[in-house]
Structure 1
Amino acid sequence: MITFGRSFLTLDLARLMSAAGHRVTIVDSVPIGITRFSHAADAFHRVPAPKFEPRAYCHALARIVADEHIDMVIPMHEETDVLSMMTDIFPPTCELFLSDFETENSLHNKFEFQELLAARGFPTLKYAQVRGPGDVATLDFDDPFALKECYSRGSQQVHKVTPGEALDWVDHDPINPWLAQEWVHGDKYCTYSICREGKIFAHATYPVDYAIDGSSCLNFRSVRHDGIVEWVSEFVADQNFTGQVGFDFIEVPQRGLYSIECNPRATSGIMMFSPADRVDRAFFGENTELITPDPEVNKMIGLGMLLYGWRKSSRGHHTLRGFVRDFRASQDVVSEPGDRRPAILLPVAYAGILRSCLRYRVGLAEGFMYDHEWDGLRIAE
């Protein structure tokens, strides 16, 4: 079973699993998630929204697992945290591909992740937690710094703050405080890894190139970075981590490599693998050599590139002419020979997302995942 059926990541993983001979069941809280249209999906179930009905969501998944004899549940987005709080309701014959709640939460919470890095001896950028006006008054950054909520994701805004700037606009939520983090310049990379019991079985590294406001990547090129692989290997071994995980890195000249934040769930790197890579083996821990994408892979989220990639805030150092060239040279992750329905019915799927945007009064990027976000509120006993 793979969750969050509206996601291109889910679509790609479903195709990879199906091509390897696995029966794939998809779930989502929206009725027309794009993966539902794929030949890779053997079944689709609409379930409650994990953000608003976490208990009902978990119980619905557990019933489907029992009814369809599911062997493994692979959560794709922040429903990972929700499921990690209720693993005991699932049949013992089914594995939830994730770590325990305390581990998942410490990696998802941006401040706790930095604290964890510091405690384990990994280098960190300067950081501080901001819980209220008192913490604002004690910030001692000499240079600009980033301000972002501890529970947030790539589609949400990161504020660049100048030292001494009034922060009276900040809303302080006791459950979801803010992280102030040194703002530095350097080469940015994202990663995706499939891990089991502290060992990496598949890994991809890709540079931040075209990205929504410089954070959510829209195109994906595989690059080799031995320092990043070594860093991730050491960290997941230290945490004895099981699940999918991604890290955002920045390599600062004369200072070295830093992890800005962690995403203990699927990231866009999954879309760089092909059926020939057999990444399904990584989920079951069956391969003996690390699985990596073809070094020539060059993929993109075509619709995202059309909507955002050409904008100055998303294309970085690229010109408009360069954008056109790169767009034509990249392969769209939605359209695939033999499985064209997701691409053909993409407008129908996005109509459902737009309905969610109107319902929750948020923009397209936020509305895409709004009802699957988790911002630190634990499930009541």
Structure 2
Amino acid sequence: MSIEPQAVLITGARAPAALEWVRLFHAAGRKVYVCDSLKRFVCRYSRLVSGSAFVPSPKDNTEAFIEGLVGLIRKYRIALVVPTCEEIFYVVKYRNGLEAEGAAVFTDQLPALLGLHNKYEFIRMVEKNGLPVPETYRITSEAELRDIVAGSTVSQKYVLKPVYSRFASKVRIIERSAGGPLVQAPDSLSPDCPWVLQRFIEGTPVCTYSIAKDGRLFAHAAYESRYRAGMGASVHFAAIEHPAVLRWVETFVAAEKLNGQIAFDFIVDREGTVYPIECNPRTTSGIHLFAPGDGVAETVLLSARENGVMPLIQPPVGRSSMIGMMMGVQAVRLGVPWAARVETVRDMLRSRDVLIRFRDPLPFWSQLFSLWELFNMSRRRGVSLLEASTIDLEWNDDG
């Protein structure tokens, strides 16, 4: 029996990207419900949601989390579940039970997601398909790390990061010339916690966010990553046209026959070679570059129940969004030349804040409640505020 997707459930509703999905599906005429394992999450305060719910942590209490989703599917007659953060891995692991309740799950199968999420296995997937990759190693000991770095006959820069990580929160840039001091290994490096060592590529960072069905793209956004929170997530997103990157994404997605949401980070070198750095098989900030009139939500709803070729949707070049609070920090931080401050302010004036809407103002102010809850969680668990934002839903090869 085919189901007309009327009610949509969005999980991971703490994220501004989830709020973008709320607005897109609401504009498409659907009832939207949201849930999260935070009690004060951003989407809860949107006037566009028909209902919101607290669910247990998918990482710490997976069974209760899935039971919570099943209860919401039954209560609201949910026809489509859209995971947005790393809870996607727990959702897809138990998708058969959710689909048995009559809800389609907007994601690929678990094996594909796991390969894309693992920063080493992703590079091997790309290499298998004949696409260029940066020199990449899986490191499990200090001896392995030193052997590779010490083997450099010329000065060389490397990027060191955990196989499972997010926001570049633990990324290290290391450089050692021949005969230079030995590299210090991270304390957590072990066979149970491997890291990736990757040759540093000089070039222009480009990020993409795409949506696919059976290996064909039907939505794609590319944007340069000019403003970042440290070395991590972008806080400003301006749509660009990059044919070489688009061809790369189309080639890889088709080769792997991917479905759902796929986001990539690239470096494009001076010769124009596109090098993949990592992949996020979930919603990322690229969703902010789409507007209701683009038809992304309608196409997702259509793809949930039908097969066939759909035209590629792309945002117009120059459309931009920002995380306003973080862009404000960029404008006032110490040590930045005045010309750069002026340029930052100009980019802010040209961009739409991802939270602020005149007819839906509360999510912007509610981020203060969310930050307070995350601050308390960071203190309880002894982690940074950034790590606390995902610690209860992240997937680190959790079986």
Q: TM-score range by the shorter chain?
A: over 0.9
Question: How many pairs align?
Answer: 377
Letter in 2 for 1:138: D
Change in 2 beyond 3 A, CA 1:120/1:95: same
Where do residues 57-206 of structure 1 align in structure 2 (5 Å cutoff)?
A: 57-92=65-100, 93-139=102-148, 140-141=151-152, 142=154, 143-163=156-176, 165-206=182-223
How far did residue 185 of structure 1 move? 1.2
Change in 2 beyond 3 A, CA 1:310/1:262: farther
Matched, 1:33 2:41: yes
Asked if the contact 2:11–2:83 (Cα under 8 Å) also holds between the matched residues in 1, the reply is yes
Aligned counterpart for 1:213 among listed residues 221, 230, 238? 230
How far did residue 364 of structure 1 move? 2.5
Asked if the contact 1:114–1:124 (Cα under 8 Å) also holds between the matched residues in 2, the reply is yes
**Cα shift readout 1:295-319 (whole Å, capped 9, x = no counterpart):** 2312110112234565479x89972
Matched, 1:18 2:35: no
Matched, 1:43 2:51: yes
Aligned counterpart for 1:288 among listed residues 281, 285, 310? 310
**Cα shift readout 1:247-274 (whole Å, capped 9, x = no counterpart):** 0011011261111110011110001111
Matched, 1:306 2:315: no
Alignment partners' CA distance in 2, 1:351 and 1:5: 16
Q: Which has the larger radius of gyration?
A: 2
Alignment partners' CA distance in 2, 1:27 and 1:356: 18
Asked if the contact 2:331–2:345 (Cα under 8 Å) also holds between the matched residues in 1, the reply is no
**Cα shift readout 1:160-203 (whole Å, capped 9, x = no counterpart):** 11236322444224343100000121111101111111111111
Alignment partners' CA distance in 2, 1:202 and 1:361: 39
Unpaired runs of 5+ residues, structure 1, are none
TM-score, normalised by the number of residues in structure 1: 0.93
Alignment partners' CA distance in 2, 1:317 and 1:118: 43
Asked if the contact 2:331–2:341 (Cα under 8 Å) also holds between the matched residues in 1, the reply is no
Matched, 1:375 2:392: no
Larger mean CA deviation between 240-249 and 321-330 belongs to: 321-330
Aligned to 2:183, the other structure's residue is in SS state coil
Aligned to 1:174, the other structure's residue is in SS state coil
Unpaired runs of 5+ residues, structure 2, are 1-8
Alignment partners' CA distance in 2, 1:312 and 1:20: 44
Asked if the contact 1:24–1:42 (Cα under 8 Å) also holds between the matched residues in 2, the reply is yes
Aligned to 1:362, the other structure's residue is in SS state coil
**Cα shift readout 1:190-231 (whole Å, capped 9, x = no counterpart):** 011111111111110000111112331001100001111111
Matched, 1:364 2:385: yes
**Cα shift readout 1:276-334 (whole Å, capped 9, x = no counterpart):** 11211232337721111132312110112234565479x89972232223223322111
TM-score, normalised by the number of residues in structure 2: 0.89
How far did residue 6 of structure 1 move? 1.2
In the other structure, the counterpart of 1:8 is 16
Alignment partners' CA distance in 1, 2:313 and 2:103: 25
Identity of matched residues, %: 29
Letter in 1 for 2:317: P
